[in-house]
Amino acid sequence: MEPELRLGSERVVPDLAGWRRDNLDESLLDPYPTLAPDWVCEVLSPSTEVFDRGDKATYHQRIRVPWLWFVDPEAQILEVFENDAGHFRQRQRFQGALDVAARPFDALTWPLGALWG
């Protein structure tokens, strides 16, 4: 289920979101989390890519989400961005069926091809 984030007057629904255990609080028990996630993943499609990379990414920057992933199933690409003082900077880019250690989960290596197939 996609979480609906309500931080301030805006509402955004990332495809996936995650929170570090040490950052959790009781607001995550509410139907609409008001705590910014530590990681967001947006799955791109031709109909959503402009919005996901534009307004939605700007929102994630503004609420200081530390990590943002863009997954493009058609191109088989994973892009990893880190929030650096309020601006997302690309830190990693993977394509195909490689084994990857993608930040912030780089303690784990997993097959990127599992997303495509």
Model confidence, pTM: 0.91
Q: Are the C-beta atoms of residues 35 and 23 closer than 8 Å to each other?
A: yes
Buried b (16+ CB within 10 A) or exposed e, 26-42: eeeeeeebebbbbbbbb
Domain boundaries, the chain: 5-115
Write the pLDDT tens digit of every residue in 71-111.
999 999 999 999 999 999 999 999 999 999 999 999 999 99
In this predicted model, what pLDDT tens digit does every residue of 10-49 receive, in sequence order? 888 999 999 888 877 776 666 777 788 999 999 999 999 9
Domain 5-115: give its CATH code.
Answer: 3.90.1570.10
